[in-house]
Amino acid sequence: MLTPPPVTLQEELGRGSTAVVWRAALTEPVAELPLGAEVACKRFHDDPEARACYAREAQVGEAVVAEGLIRQYAAGEDDEGPWVLMELIPGRNLAEVLAEERALAEPLVRSIGRQLSGALAALHAAHISHGDLKPENARLDQSGRSVLVDLGFAGAEGAWDEAARGTPLYLAPELTRGEPLSPAADVFSLGVVLYELVTGSHPFITTPLRSSARSSRAARRLPQSACLQSPPFWISSSRARCTETPASARTRESSVIA
């Protein structure tokens, strides 16, 4: 059944490869929210790949509710394509934060790490992996709250879908080889993101190279010494524990921040 989202769209908050996310006001009560409440409305493109992302996002967003993970209120489809209503997370995504601030204070990164680890722990407890943890898919508000968004590539642990691969710069090497989703692959991505937040540099690639490098395999050939600055011990240690190969040697999400 075609149902439009019960909202008035207000302004664009962001966009990714499959959808545009809008600030929106409810035109009727939804979940525990009253008429007029502000929400985020994700409008997916009307193509097969975006529809597949919608199907995964709607299912996982309904199944897992946790602090640190985007809270979903409703999902549906109208003649423009599929949509999801979710909690509005003000602020910026971590890619925008990095672009504007270059690097973040260590206590803030530790706090972001704990919040995102908590979101991963909840997904993993439900045997689901996020599959696309990267700076664009986590938000940070003014109060320091950080929330993991974009469940478009999330799937059951062990699932393998060639079309649902995350972003090369943050993807665990075994996923680039075609192995299935796993909690350890999410931990890899989180370790890379946190390292980048502290140092302003990707752990496996120097900043000038970053924009041209699209393959994490190429990135991994660069030695650690190629980093622009010498990072604090705790984040190097966290990064090392998160990005171990084989994946079975990686730390659990609960120990990403020691």
Ligand X SMILES: Nc1ncnc2c1ncn2[C@@H]1O[C@H](COP(=O)(O)OP(=O)(O)O)[C@@H](O)[C@H]1O
d(CA 190, CA 47): 29
Is the CB of 86 or the CB of 256 nearer to ligand X? 86
Give whichever of 50 and 235 is closer to ligand X, judged by the CB atom.
50
107, 236, 256 from 230: Cα distances, Å: 18, 9, 20
Tokens of 132: 């696309």
- Which of the choices ligand X, Mg ion, none does residue 86 contact, using the CB cut-off of 5 to 8 A by kind? ligand X
- Answer with the entry of ligand X, Mg ion, none that 42 interacts with (C-beta below 5 to 8 A by kind): ligand X
Under the criterion CB under 5 A, does residue 77 sit at the interface with Mg ion? Answer: no
Minimum Å gap between C-beta 91 and Mg ion is 16
CB of 13 to ligand X, least distance (A): 4
Active-site residue, selected from the candidate residues 46, 47, 79, 132: 132
Which one of ligand X, Mg ion, none is in contact with 257 (Cβ closer than 5 to 8 A by kind)? none
121 binds, among Mg ion, ligand X, none (CB under 5 to 8 A by kind): none
Q: Which of 6, 16, 166, 203 binds Mg ion (CB under 5 A)?
A: 16
Q: Which residue ranges make up the site for ligand X (CB under 6 A)?
A: 13-19, 21, 40, 42, 53, 70, 86-89, 93, 136-137, 139, 149-150, 152
**Least CB distance to Mg ion at residue 256 (A):** 21
Between 17 and 215, CB nearer to ligand X: 17
Shortest spacing between CB 77 and ligand X, in angstroms: 16
Question: Is residue 137 within the footprint of Mg ion (CB under 5 A)?
Answer: yes
Query: What minimum distance in Å lies between the beta carbon of 92 and ligand X?
Result: 7
Binding residue for Mg ion, selected from 77, 150, 186, 196, defined by CB under 5 A: 150
Question: In the annotation, is 141 catalytic?
Answer: no
The residue with its CB nearest to ligand X is: 16
Between CA 118 and CA 123, with CA 122 as vertex, the angle to 5 degrees is 115
Question: Which residues are tagged catalytic?
Answer: 132
